[in-house]
Amino acid sequence: MKSDKHSRRQFISTGTKASLALGLGGSLIACSSKAAGALQGAAWADNPLFQTPYHQTPLPYDYKALEPSIDAPTMEIHYTKHAAGYTKNLNEAAVAEKVDTAKPLEALLGEINKYSEKMRNNAGGHYNHELFWKNMRAPVSGNAPSGSLKAAIDTKFGGFDKFKTGFADAAKGRFGSGWAWLIVKDKNLLISSTPNQDNPLMPVASTTGIPLLGLDVWEHAYYLKYQNKRPDYIENWWNVVNWDNVQQRFDIAMK
């Protein structure tokens, strides 16, 4: 285990040196230290929960499982068309840019500024959706975090309701298309958001960190059922958050 961690650190360190070698100019130091921040503490990166493959994994439930919060037609189109499109385009970019797709996608996201715009959009798109599906489950009444995650949310945000308000504000406030996030940065919980298909693993994100929970606020995620009412979609989405999955990610991110 120890040697695995060591080799992962070496790999990340090599990646950082490779970005240095590209000579990105004045912003170089800020970028590379952000990348190191996002991938810091390689223990989490060694865990299978944080090793996303370059192919779509099967949805952990059927298309109708998240009803009424998210309707079956939306889920089917979202998974088979939108998300599948990102996966296909990611793999095209990976061939063109000679990426080793046997390695987890997280490593590439941590140095996304070495790659094309097509890679950024589709690596982000694929990663974000793979996480999003696993962040959800069939609706649970009174759905809420428990245990150490609940305690950390209470300490950081002053309670679950205040956290939900802060997260929903980030999701509603994201102009146009993007994502809202709950992340761990330097062993602290933070709420953030990113435009388009960016995510907090990318050094280009305004706030980098380890993603625990992501919410897709592209219109394709809710328009069929909610039309322009993004706040209603967000409100109902809380019923299908898989807090067990978020807790597992939290435990690993805090190690």
Site residues (CB under 5 A) for Mn ion? 216, 218, 221
Asked whether 78 and 220 are in contact (CB, 8 A), the reply is: yes
Distance of closest approach, residue 53 Cβ to Mn ion, in angstroms: 18
140: left (phi over 0), alpha (psi -120 to 50) or beta: beta
Residue with smaller CB distance to Mn ion, 218 or 250: 218
User: Cα separation of 174 and 176, whole Å?
Assistant: 6
**How far is 246 from 171, CA to CA, in rounded Å?**
18
Task: Give the Cα-Cα-Cα angle 253, 162, 129 (nearest 5 degrees).
Answer: 45
DSSP 57: P
Smallest separation (angstroms) from Mn ion to the CB of 91: 18
First vs last Cα of the chain: how many Å apart?
14
Phi, psi of 178 (to 5 degrees): 170, -160
Q: Which is nearer to Mn ion, 129 or 249 (by Cβ)?
A: 129
Shortest distance (Å) from residue 111 CB to Mn ion: 24
- When the beta carbons of 112 and 215 are compared against Mn ion, the nearer one is 215
User: Based on CB atoms, which residue is closest to Mn ion, 79 or 115?
Assistant: 79
C-alpha 247/C-alpha 213 separation (Å) is: 10
By beta-carbon proximity to Mn ion, the closer residue of 44 and 218 is 218
Q: Shortest Cβ distance from residue 29 to Mn ion (Å)?
A: 34
Cα 107 to the chain's mean position, in Å? 13
List, in sequence order, every residue forming a beta bridge with 213; answer none if it has no partner. Answer: 182
The DSSP secondary-structure symbol of 58 reads: P
Say if CB 183 and CB 211 are below 8 A apart: yes
Closest contact distance (angstroms) between CB of 165 and Mn ion is 23
Of 6 and 81, the one with the shorter C-beta distance to Mn ion is 81
Cβ of residue 183: shortest distance to Mn ion, in angstroms? 19
